[in-house]
Amino acid sequence: MSAMLKDSNKKSRIIKAALDVFAQEGLQKGTVDIIARKAGVAKGTVYGYFPSKEALFEGVLYDFFLSVSQNMKKALEQETDPVRRFDLMVDLMFDQWDYIIAHPGEYEWIILYEIFLYILRKERQGGSQSLVDEIMDQIFISFEPLFETIPGQKDDSQADLKMKSYLLFSALDGITIYYFLLHSRYEPEQMRKITKDFVKRGLGIAPAPAEES
């Protein structure tokens, strides 16, 4: 028996196989049979971890966002200075899209968006008990430490840290997504710098431009 088949981390293998299969075959044609074969497990083993294909969708999406939030948290923990923390955060988001731009043959990100929209649609129809809220909470929590190091932000009664994290993530996510769509119009490093300077001034962690005397 191969080393892979002896690997006890079957759930992770199934999730990785599912993402690969969905990226290659699409959500409808990517069957549990194909996923099981690619993961090197029995079909019943897949259902043991994920009782339905919808549950497998959720598992793939949750695993991706959990990885993103853990990477974000790890990066933020490297710095206590709020300016450098913020710069790291922005660089991580731009790095993600730069990687996708440089690797046009990799379609995983498209599948992840398709899964997200599928789950969201089912949730709105009342037909899914999805993990969308929990997934997004994982992302927002990773942003909260930033506000704890910004003078005056932690004790600001205008909004709690989770709401501020939600607003900051939404702003940066929107900026980087449109950067991906329109990247040929802008010089990448200039776009990063402008994004950092623009948002940091709004957060109060960067000095305003010096006035001419």
List pLDDT tens digits, range 192-202: 999 999 988 88
CA angle centred on 101, ends 168 and 166, rounded to 5°: 10
The answer to pTM > 0.85 is: no
So what's the pLDDT on residue 39?
94
What is the per-residue pLDDT across 103-150, written as a single tens digit (0 to 9) for each?
877 777 888 888 888 887 877 777 555 566 777 777 777 777 777 777
Q: State residue 195's pLDDT score.
A: 93
Each residue's pLDDT tens digit, 52-111: 888 899 889 888 888 877 877 787 777 778 888 888 888 988 998 888 888 877 777 888
* CATH no. of 53-203: 1.10.357.10
Higher pLDDT, 163 or 149: 163
The confidence score (pLDDT) of residue 92 equals 87
Question: What is the predicted pLDDT for the residue at 16?
Answer: 92
Q: What is the mean pLDDT of residues 170-184?
A: 87
Distances (CA, A) of 188 to 104, 109, 122, 194, 210: 17, 20, 37, 10, 25
Asked if residue 34 has pLDDT above 90, the reply is: yes
- Residue 9: pLDDT band (50, 70, 90) is confident
Question: What value does the CA radius of gyration of the chain take, rounded to a whole number of Å?
Answer: 20
DSSP 84-120: HHHHHHHHHHHHHHHHHHH-TT--HHHHHHHHHHHHH
Q: What pLDDT sits at residue 154?
A: 61
Span of 47-61, 145-159, 162-176 with lowest mean pLDDT: 145-159
6-51 CATH pick, 3.40.50.450, 3.40.50.2300, 1.10.10.60, 1.20.1630.10: 1.10.10.60
d(CA 84, CA 38): 42
In the chain, where are the structural domains located?
Answer: 6-51, 53-203
